[in-house]
Chains A and B, each alone.
Chain A
Amino acid sequence: MATETSVHQAMLAAVPHLRAFAISLSGNVEYADDLVQSALMRGLENLDKFQPGTSMQAWLFTILRNHYYTELRKHRREVEDPDGAMAEKLAVLPEQGSRLDFTDMQAALARLSPEQREALLLVSAEGVSYEEAAQICRVNIGTLKSRVNRARTRLAELLALDAEEDLGPDRLVKAALLTHTP
């Protein structure tokens, strides 16, 4: 029973991570919560397949993104989001003078391919190792690294982080807030 409890605790601890991942992956808070819910339910149903000693969070991430891709293939809806329509639906991101323009970030993320987006989110935002991210995404590590690389480059383009411009005035303010030292 102690094991059962700790399993549930591990799942509970993973929930904020799963949500952040699902929201930034899908660009839609409500849908993201549905994704998390179904991942948790699938996890609970398949607990016998979870290997003790491995990362519960990584396991749930795998379940969530597999389900996300199945749904994507089924519906083929708003996969790419060239006009940022998906990002516009965002309800969670408050305008209340947050330091960063999260809407810009979400809109830019929405324009990456899903594969690049998930790779980048796992490695650069969630902080998962390349190895673990490769397992979650079911690709080899070289492919994963490449996706992260390309995603970063593309995202920098989309956010107009131009090396030559040396971060324009607007960016500089943000950069300063991020303790960017010259």
Chain B
Amino acid sequence: MVADSLKAGTLPEEPDGLEDGQSVDGEPAPEPTLPPRIAAYLGEQLQAFYAHLMSAPVPDRLVQLLEQPDRKGSASDGD
């Protein structure tokens, strides 16, 4: 009896795994939205943060990695 009513009126099946905004029936999952002002401020902060990281000097070992390759044909420059 209970089982019957449950069967009849089961909740629509909610597929799991919608976290990444996968759409069911082409219907996009509701997305959170930030107020434009906050979004703009956040974007600026992120960019400033990233620009700061970009401006740091690149370690020699990384530069050397790209300078060494070929060029060994002529041993003319030995520092």
Contact = CB atoms under 8 A, between A and B. Distances in A.
A121 B69 CA distance: 31
Interface size class of A (residues with CB under 8 A): 35 or more
Contacts of B47: 124-125, 127
A170 to B, nearest CB: 13
A89 B16 CA distance: 37
Interface in B17-75: 20-23, 28-29, 31-35, 37-50, 52-56, 58-59, 61-63, 65-67, 69-70
Contacts of B53: 19-20, 23-24, 92
Contacts of B29: 146
The prevalent SS among residues of A at the interface is: helix
Interface residues of B, number: 40
Nearest to B49: A105
A124 B43 contact: yes
A152 B49 contact: no
A17 B62 CA distance: 13
B58 A126 contact: no
Contacts of B61: 33, 37
B45 A149 contact: no
A134 interface: no
B34 A156 contact: yes
15 contacts: A12-B63, A15-B58, A16-B56, A24-B49, A33-B62, A37-B62, A44-B65, A126-B50, A127-B47, A146-B20, A149-B31, A161-B41, A163-B38, A175-B41, A178-B41
